[in-house]
Amino acid sequence: MKKLGYAILYLILGLFAFLQIYPLIWLVFFSLKDNQEIYNASPFSLPADPKWENYMTVWTQGNISLYFFNSVWITVASVALTVIFASLVTFAITRMQWKLNKLVLGLFMVGMMIPVHSTLIPLFDFFLKVNLIDHPLAIVLSYVAFNLPLTIMILLGFYYTLPREIEEAAVIDGCSVHRIFFQITLPITMPVISTTVIINMIYNWNEFVFINTFISSDKYKTLTVGIQNFIGQYMTEWGAIGATLVISILPILLAFLFFSNKIVEGIAAGSVKG
């Protein structure tokens, strides 16, 4: 009976895994078809003649290489700034004693209640006044500002569980506050930092509204907006759109696989051994 139970469990898990993976496989097959095959053949059929040139077309003729580079550096810069600022704020709120720490925490948490779309007009007016419209800095600042509250909230629970004995021992050894944060607290919190990196990366990589509102030049656009290049008034290149989506998904999948292992390693490395 125990073996039967395990067999049923693995069967159910395998079914769920297939349901999660199959859309990605379907998208790859979709990206290898042309419009005629997409319209006439079954949507679940394998490509009769794989159109690998779809990937070459979008990479060379569709400016996808430029959009991909923009997505990478904007996402990396935004995630790095968000994580370091959120870690500094959380450290100051949870590990240091000062009068306004609860008030500051409340102000950051209020930011989670503000709908993103309600801020587009005020942000556009502000960036217009400071000459940041059609500038990537406007996107980076927007991402950092809107991701800080959620990142701080995720970090809070982990920071509250950290034993103060480690920091007290560091102070006795002569460590400054800056050394305690960068050399002790930050490495210990790598498990939760890995989680926040994944969450922020997915949001920033897939974000569309800010890019579409604040950026008009092709040289600053990202993949989410660049896909529109293949949607025309009279004809849409669906195979090219599928190829672009596959290219845009791969970095997120690789990052998730990489950081999921880091989470487990960080939990083991960051545990307190007495």
Query: Alpha helix locations (H) across 96-220?
Result: 101-110, 120-129, 136-161, 164-172, 177-179, 186-188, 190-206, 209-214
Report the alpha-carbon distance of residue 152 to residue 146 in Å, rounded: 11
Side-chain half-sphere of 102: how many Cα atoms within 13 Å? Answer: 1
User: What residue segments make up the domains of the chain, in order of their start?
Assistant: 64-220+250-270
pTM of the model: 0.82
Length of the chain: 274
CATH of domain 64-220+250-270: 1.10.3720.10
Q: Going residue by residue through the chain, which has 274 residues, state the pLDDT in tens, using 9 for 90 and above.
A: 778 888 898 999 999 989 988 998 999 999 898 888 888 878 788 888 888 888 888 888 777 888 999 999 999 999 999 999 999 999 999 888 888 888 888 988 888 888 888 899 999 999 999 999 999 999 999 999 999 999 998 888 888 888 888 888 888 888 888 888 888 888 888 888 888 888 899 899 989 899 999 998 888 999 888 877 666 644 577 888 888 888 888 888 887 777 766 655 544 444 444 4
